[in-house]
Structure 1
Amino acid sequence: MSFLADDDRPRKKAAHEIGEDISSFSADELSARIAVLQAEIDRLDAEKARKSAGRSAAESLFRR
């Protein structure tokens, strides 16, 4: 029995690929992609805030 390494698995196509040709997309398709990208930005911002808060808490603890 063989197991596939994570790198060997087929990857799901991204909802949007940075730099891809978007000239053929309709306004609705562009709006959908904007929504996907905005959700990802929001997710990244939330993680950044969580990490910043953790770092601030650690710095406060060690400054005492």
Structure 2
Amino acid sequence: MNLDDLEPRKVKPAPRDLGILSVAELNDYIAELEAEIARARAAIDAKQSHKNAAEALFKRP
């Protein structure tokens, strides 16, 4: 067994220090996060659509 297999594959980035950001920078940061959330939701929708199509294809009558 390789010890590298025991390490987590993805390390979460440290939270951003919001105290040093201005109000405008915080608004920009929120807009970036909302855009990323929308992108993730679109990916979820696409994957769910593919899953539903595959399930419908292999569903027995």
The gaps in structure 2 that reach 5 residues or longer are 1-12
Q: Which residue matches 1:33?
A: 29
Q: Which residue matches 1:19?
A: 15
TM-score (norm 2): 0.71
Distance (whole Å) between structure 2 residues aligned to residue 31 and residue 59 of structure 1: 42
Q: Which one of the candidate residues 44, 49, 55 is aligned to 1:59? A: 55
Identity %: 40
- Once the two structures are TM-superposed, the CA of residue 23 in structure 1 deviates from its matched residue by 0.5
Structure 1 residue runs of 4 or more that deviate by more than 2 Å after TM superposition: none
Q: Which one of the candidate residues 8, 30, 39 is aligned to 1:43? A: 39
Aligned residues: 48
Give the CA RMSD over aligned residues.
1.3
Distance (whole Å) between structure 2 residues aligned to residue 42 and residue 27 of structure 1: 23
Distance (whole Å) between structure 1 residues aligned to residue 43 and residue 50 of structure 2: 11
Q: Deviations over 1:8-37 (max 9, x none)?
A: xxxxxxxxx651211021111000000011
Of structures 1 and 2, the one scoring higher in RCO (CA 8 A, sep 6+) is: 1
TM-score (norm 1): 0.68
Name the structure where helix makes up a greater proportion of residues: 2
